[in-house]
Structures are given as C-alpha cells and as structure tokens.
Structure 1
Amino acid sequence: MEIVFSETGVSADLLEAKANEAVSRFDCCALAVMLANLGDKSAEEALACVEDKLGRNC
C-alpha cells in the first residue's frame, strides 16, 4: 500500500521521525527485557541500566 502524503497532510519527514522514535523505544525495551530475563535484574534495575547506558529515558 502506498501512502500519498499530500492527501494525508502528513509529511514524509514527520513519519520518518516517528518511525525512528518507535524503533529507538523498541531497542530500549528489548535490551531491558534481555537484562531482566538473562541478566538476573529486576525490571526496575534493567530499565535504569538501559537508561544509564543509552543516556535517554526509555
């Protein structure tokens, strides 16, 4: 399915930015899940570790 941006009123740049943000958040979550499951950390510890290493709020 092809999206015609002029008909939706949404710019390609905005869609790209939102997609990049979604991928970034997924990466944070996936890493936190791995730390919790394989790294013997609680969910809170895993998120704190990811946020500390990546320097952003996941």
Structure 2
Amino acid sequence: MPNYTVTWVINADEAATPREAAQQVADAYFAPHIAGGGEDTACCFTVTNDATGEVVQVDLSQDE
C-alpha cells in the first residue's frame, strides 16, 4: 500500500505573528482539543510570510 503526504494550505490575513496565524486557523477549522494544542493532535503548522518569504514552524502544543 502506498504512503501519502497530505498538504493543506489556507491564508490567515489578520495575524500579527506566525503563531497567531496558526492559532487563528486552528480555532476556525479544527476541533477545540486540536486548536488548543492537545497532546497527540495535529497542531503543527508551517507558516510562510507572503511578503518576505520567511518560513516558521509552529507547534501549538509548545509554549511560545
């Protein structure tokens, strides 16, 4: 059986920081236990600044 990599992309237009962008998306689209950064949940995000190209990894289960 083959393996797959799944990528989901969504824009967060009103965020001041990469973590805030990830949290806004999680709050809007994920169940509360995932958006809250619950253990063993899909709460890791790659956030790209469209203006600068800066890429930041955000894990909502980790403190800032």
TM range (shorter): 0.3 to 0.5
In our comparison, the structure showing a higher alpha carbon Rg is: 1
Q: TM-score, normalised by structure 1?
A: 0.35
Structure with the higher helix share, 1 or 2: 1
Q: TM-score, normalised by structure 2?
A: 0.33
Structure with the higher strand share, 1 or 2: 2
